[in-house]
Amino acid sequence: MSFILMPFIIFGLIVLFAAFFTVKQQTAAIIERFGKFQSIRQSGLHLKIPLVDRISGRLSLKIQQLDVLIETKTLDDVFVRLKSFCPVQSN
């Protein structure tokens, strides 16, 4: 009898462990249910429905600096090049 129940117990444990997942700090996980957007999960320990929900992607929430060169003409017809700093979220 125990040989018959053993595959069911192992399958149940695999499904139980697949239900939990963690999201690291400064990242977000995108959850899809049957291929359709379900939610965005922030950092921490989360629960999902195994075989139904899946993690379709992870996004980094860190902000990086992007250097932008701007060239402009002043009122006295002098061309000036400026270096501007724009914060950009990295993916």
pTM over 0.85: no
How many Cα atoms occupy the beta-carbon half-sphere of 23 within 13 Å? 21
- Residues of the chain with pLDDT > 70, as a percent, come to 90
Alpha helices in the chain (DSSP H): 2-19
Q: How far is CA 60 from CA 1, 11, 42, 64, 70, in A?
A: 49, 33, 11, 11, 28
pLDDT tens readout for residues 53-90: 999 999 988 877 777 788 888 888 888 888 876 666 65
